[in-house]
Amino acid sequence: MDIKVEAKPIAEVEADALIVVGFEGAVPSGPFSGLSKELYDAGEFSGKALEIAILHRPAGLKAKRLVLAGAGKPGEFKPSEMRKLSGAMLRALKPKGVRSIVMALDEPFRSDDFAAAAVEGALLGDLEANRYKTDPKKNEKQVASFAVSGGSQAAVERGRVLAEAQNFTRDLANEPANLLTPTGLAESARKMAADYRLECEVLDQDRMRQLGMGALLGVSQGSAEPPAMIILRYKPTAATGSKDHLGLVGKGVTFDTGGISIKPADHMDQMRYDMAGGAAMLGAMRAIAQLKPAIPVTAIIPAVENMPGSRAQRPGDIVTSLAGKTVEVLNTDAEGRMILIDALTYAQRLGCTHLVDAATLTGSIVVALGFVNIGAFTNNQPFLDKLMAAAKAEGEKMWQMPIDEEYKEALKSDFADLHNIGGRPGGSVTAAMFLKDFVNDLPWVHLDIAGTAWLEETKPYMAKGASGVGVRTFVRLAQNW
């Protein structure tokens, strides 16, 4: 899709659809105000959020259609709402054969933030998870161009970079597990790194065995697919004098049966997105390579498949992690934390000074927060505050969860340093406490994205499937450092 800024006066814009934002109780101004008022007065349009009304061949405009897009109450309209609105309008117009769209931004929304959000929404809304459908008509009606009247070209370009990175993440997490194995994820990382000039290294099973990554290898041993530890490095072109080094660690379980502690059959097909945290880190690095923040960033993605094969890890097994601590495996379906502890330890060996991990880690976080908020845990409040400020700016919702030392009691083992589950009470918290034991004193944030990484149904602004959550937040965190 061609993305650009529209510099012509609105009345002179030639497009298949000109989108105008309308609010509850407030008729849009400009050359289309009279036409808009007629729709308001007739009750055909009220301005409610994501409402749409279309006028064909509007008088006084060169655009073929005038589209009124409902934005709700003016005081509540933020860039995050613009992102949804733009996506919803594109998804509504695309089936109608609209190939060129212009989003008209009225004051006070003619800003870089709103322009970038409009572009992001359009590109995110345009993605369909239909790659493997054989219907020849599936791509017949595609939007060729999207323009924004208002905002700078730099803002529009940033919106494009972020949305394409998020869509890259969504495509990875939507891939079926027979086509995206740990080796396949590593190959995708290598190709992306080559395209955007990132350093890429992949540790194979033998190298991980030499290093002593017993926690990760214990998870992977039940699968015929070998594991991979993916490392991507971004180095800023100019030295800043700061010793800070951001580490982004993402869970990369390309399919999770639960292992010997096997999951129920219902919805197990969705466990192809158990690598959404790792995919988010790959997407973030894709954008970071283009937007060039001043801080060095390293992403570490431990990639495995968790299968109940004849050599699979058993409940009761004890493994030795890269950090040298022993873990008693009480439940093989608590595998994400096992691969993450070796990745977090390795990130520290690579010199990372601040760590963020993202993982579809627990069902407990869904019980606590539903499908709306990411669960955020930390050992360093100022660092979490910085990350949550980035999340708020990007419209990604997070909620801080407790991490009191008392929760660690549930992880005590009679036979090893720790066991890998703490029981049902506070399951997301005890999982975070398990990870915390391996980050030492480094500032660290753990994000449990189990409830937000997958859309169970199509939204007006985004297709069903992987959401790509976290990508924009991680990029802004690096940019605002």
Q: What are the catalytic residues?
A: 263, 337
What is the gyration radius of the CA atoms in the chain, in angstroms?
24
Q: By the 8 A CB rule, do 68 and 39 touch?
A: yes
CA distance linking residue 203 with residue 205, whole number of Å: 7
AA identity, residue 32: F
CA angle 221, 227, 232 (to 5 degrees): 155
3-class SS of residue 129: coil
Segments in 128-152 forming alpha helices (H)? none
Rounded Cα distance, 8 and 15, in Å: 12
Buried b (16+ CB within 10 A) or exposed e, 34-53: ebbeebbeeeebebebbbbb
Give bridge partners of residue 26 from the DSSP assignment.
23
The answer to whether 312 touches 235, Cβ cutoff 8 Å, is no
Place of tokens 């982004």: 248
Q: Go through the chain and tell me how many residues it has.
A: 481
Q: Do 83 and 120 contact (CB within 8 A), yes or no?
A: yes
- Angstrom CA distances, 112 to 117, 152, 156, 218, 393, stand at 8, 6, 8, 48, 13
Residue 246: name the closest of 381, 140, 351 by CA. 351
Beta carbons of 160 and 115 less than 8 angstroms apart = no
